[in-house]
């Protein structure tokens, strides 16, 4: 399913679609199962690191196999990718959308390149997320902890209109990773961008935001809500807890470990779908 179809509908009805960064077969299968269970649309994201660690062909093969005949709208999205060759390979292979991340480059250079990426994507019926300000924090080796310069609303609107991107990721005080304190978010910027351009907004750094923040930002037009750290933490902690139990009992059964971890991931993903209001929104 094309990203734009999923997001335009979410924007019109003001619910959010979880965009979850998976990193192996178990997490991919579990988030898809949550979407089916909740009758919710879902965006599955892959970082460049995940594409490299699993391998493009194997990863895409997993996606094709696991989504064959699926009855809810799902799409495969390449998250923060500064590398044009990886963008080209993923679009060629069948990814539904990409985030071309040239946010640390001057806006004009970013625009020049994103126009090329949009043309490449259109040629295969795919969509593009754009950003002109880096999201604070390092995620899977991409990004920086330095707070990037924010652009004016005029510059952002001009970039969106001239580039033709389908979804835009602004920096609004959000950050990747674990928040040390509740973030102060510039929600008005989301309203201003949606009013000026009519396109859906991608909310990065979802892990650790409060329910009230999610509700407010989704109502303003954040139709895509990114979750990465939350899944990593759930995955690692459930493994740790299970392995501690296995050690104590001296029982070593991998399928039981996978069953526990899968259940925790399904529960986590379903919880976000409930929070974002996408339950029952499959068509
Ligand atoms: P978190 O890691 O904070 O959940 O952010 C996810 C994200 O924005 C991925 O691009």
What local confidence, expressed as pLDDT, does residue 79 receive? 98
Yes or no: say if 15 and 278 are a contact pair by the CB < 8 Å rule: yes
Report which ligand 1 atom has the smallest distance to the Cα of 80: 10
C-beta of 46 in contact with ligand 1 (< 6 A)? no
Inform me whether the pLDDT recorded for 259 exceeds 80: yes
The mean per-residue pLDDT over the stretch 153-171 comes to 97
Inform me whether the pLDDT recorded for 167 exceeds 90: yes
List pLDDT tens digits, range 32-56: 999 999 999 999 999 999 999 999 9
Inform me whether the pLDDT recorded for 192 exceeds 90: yes
C-alpha dist (Å) from residue 130 to 10, 127, 149, 181, 273: 18, 10, 16, 27, 24
C-beta of 77 in contact with ligand 1 (< 6 A)? no
What local confidence, expressed as pLDDT, does residue 236 receive? 98
C-beta of 229 in contact with ligand 1 (< 6 A)? yes
Report which ligand 1 atom has the smallest distance to the Cα of 232: 2
Report the separation in Å between the CA atom of 84 and the middle of ligand 1, taken as the mean of its atom positions: 21
Structure tokens at 108: 């004009």
The Cα 175–Cα 144 span in angstroms is 10
Neighbours of 98 (CB within 10 A): 27
C-beta of 16 in contact with ligand 1 (< 6 A)? no
Structure tokens at 112: 């020049």
Report the separation in Å between the CA atom of 248 and the middle of ligand 1, taken as the mean of its atom positions: 34
Q: Which positions are annotated as active-site residues?
A: 79
**Which H helix or E strand runs over 109?**
helix 107-123
Inform me whether the pLDDT recorded for 237 exceeds 90: yes
Yes or no: say if 170 and 201 are a contact pair by the CB < 8 Å rule: yes
Inform me whether the pLDDT recorded for 125 exceeds 80: yes
> What is the residue-averaged pLDDT of the chain?
96
What local confidence, expressed as pLDDT, does residue 147 receive? 75
What local confidence, expressed as pLDDT, does residue 142 receive? 84
Residue 252: pLDDT band (50, 70, 90) is: very high
Q: Whose CA is nearest to atom 8 of ligand 1?
A: 204
What local confidence, expressed as pLDDT, does residue 143 receive? 83
C-beta of 232 in contact with ligand 1 (< 6 A)? no
Report which ligand 1 atom has the smallest distance to the Cα of 206: 4
Report the separation in Å between the CA atom of 208 and the middle of ligand 1, taken as the mean of its atom positions: 10
The CA-to-CA distance between both ends of the chain, in Å, stands at 11
Report which ligand 1 atom has the smallest distance to the Cα of 175: 3
Report the separation in Å between the CA atom of 78 and the middle of ligand 1, taken as the mean of its atom positions: 13
Q: How many Cα atoms sit within 13 Å of 56 on the Cβ side?
A: 13
What residues are paired with 17 via a beta bridge? 224
């Amino acid at each position: 399913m094309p990203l734009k179809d999923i997001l335009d509908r979410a924007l019109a009805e003001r619910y959010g679609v979880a965009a979850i960064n998976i990193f192996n077969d178990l997490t991919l299968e579990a988030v898809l199962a949550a979407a089916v269970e909740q009758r919710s649309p879902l965006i599955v994201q892959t970082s460049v690191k995940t594409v490299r660690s699993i391998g493009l062909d194997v990863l895409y093969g997993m996606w094709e196999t696991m989504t064959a005949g699926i009855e809810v709208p799902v799409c495969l999205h390449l998250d923060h990718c500064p590398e044009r060759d990886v963008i080209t390979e993923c679009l060629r292979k069948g990814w539904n959308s990409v985030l071309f991340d040239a946010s640390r480059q001057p806006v004009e250079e970013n625009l020049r390149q994103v126009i090329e990426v949009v043309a490449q994507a259109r040629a295969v019926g795919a969509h593009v997320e754009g950003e002109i300000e880096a999201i604070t924090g390092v995620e899977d080796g991409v990004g920086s902890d330095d707070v990037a310069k924010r652009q004016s609303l005029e510059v952002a609107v001009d970039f969106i209109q001239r580039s033709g991107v389908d979804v835009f990721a602004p920096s609004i005080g959000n950050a990747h990773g674990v928040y040390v304190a509740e973030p102060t978010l510039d929600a008005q910027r989301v309203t201003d961008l949606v009013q000026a351009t009519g396109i859906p907004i991608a909310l990065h750094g979802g892990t650790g935001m409060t329910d009230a923040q999610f509700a407010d930002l989704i109502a303003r037009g954040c139709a895509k809500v990114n979750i990465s750290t939350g899944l990593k933490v759930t995955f690692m902690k459930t493994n740790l807890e299970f392995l501690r139990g296995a050690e104590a009992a001296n029982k070593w059964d991998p399928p039981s470990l996978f069953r526990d971890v899968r259940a925790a991931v399904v529960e986590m993903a379903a919880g976000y779908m409930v929070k974002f209001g996408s339950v029952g929104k499959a068509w």
